[in-house]
Amino acid sequence: MEYPPDIDPFSEDVQSAPKPVAKPSGNKNLDSVWNILTMIALIGIVCFAVLYALIFINPSGFYNPFPPPTMVPTLFIPSITPLPTRTSTIPVPTRTNTVMPTATNTPVEPSPTAIQATPIGTLILSNGTPVTPTVKVTPVFSFAIQANPTAIDATLLDPSHGCTWMGVGGRVYDLQNGPATKIEMQLFGILDGKLLNETSLTGTAIQYGPAGFEFTLANKSIASNQRLWIRLVDQSGVPLSDRVFFDTYSECNKNLVIINFKQVK
């Protein structure tokens, strides 16, 4: 151990002073090992960062241990080629027409009891005797008119009905020629451009009789041709008689049309 020149190595102070302890050489080797490991770790971190950057830039590279799934390749669909049309020929059998023999019609003489009908409905026997058949007609409605509508002066039945009034009226009989009261009468038609649709009951106009009825048509005499009709109906509106069309007149002495009904079944 060397000492500076101004210090005596053999003096008591020097001899009594603690001597420096030498550092073991094994610690230097251990530090070297840790230094090497630190460098390896740093190099590994740098390599890992570089590899991560490469995978981020190009995930499909060979250096990526977990590459992304590849896309399914596009399928190629071949075009459909039409098949050739197969034509089958079916033989059509030949039809042979056979000529049928001509039938000869032999006229048949009518027997003496043969009956011929003429267009007017009169039957004529073969011997020339005309026969007119009798046809029984069953009435469809329960009531029918007794006679054709007749126009009279309304003052004959009601003096208050002068020339400023026009109407239609009458009476209804039953099967025993008695008064048929409380039967609904219906009037319908167009007069002087106005629609008439009215109802009344038999027995409400006693000037015509116990089963009389009456309708007021206008406040003056007006001529019309079959524009109005009248009929009987039941409580359900079912017709009891056919529609009876009638005329009206412009004359003051024909301002009331009389129509009478009679029960027929």
Mean pLDDT of 36-62: 86
For residues 53 and 147, membership in a common domain is answered with: no
pLDDT of residue 5: 59
Count of structural domains, the chain: 2
- The domain boundary, picked from 23, 48, 67, lies at 67
Residue 194 pLDDT greater than 90, yes or no? yes
- Give, rounded to a whole angstrom, the gap between the first and last alpha carbons of the chain: 171
- If one compares 151 and 30, the residue with the highest pLDDT of the two is 151
119 domain-assigned: no
Q: Give residue 208's pLDDT band: very low, low, confident or very high (50, 70, 90).
A: very high
105 domain-assigned: no
23 domain-assigned: no
98 domain-assigned: no
Tell me how crowded residue 192 is: count the other CB atoms within 10 A of its CB: 13
**Segment 77-95, tens digit of pLDDT:** 656 656 655 655 555 556 6
Domain extent for 60: 37-67
For residues 46 and 148, membership in a common domain is answered with: no
CATH number, domain containing residue 248: 2.60.40.1110
Look at phi and psi of residue 217 and say left if phi exceeds 0, alpha if psi is from -120 to 50, else beta.
Answer: alpha
**Segment 60-73, tens digit of pLDDT:** 777 777 777 765 55
For residues 151 and 240, membership in a common domain is answered with: yes
Mean pLDDT of 38-50: 91
94 domain-assigned: no
The Cα–Cα gap between 49 and 24 comes to 39
- The domain boundary, picked from 50, 67, 84, lies at 67
pLDDT of residue 7: 57
According to DSSP, residue 172 is labeled: E
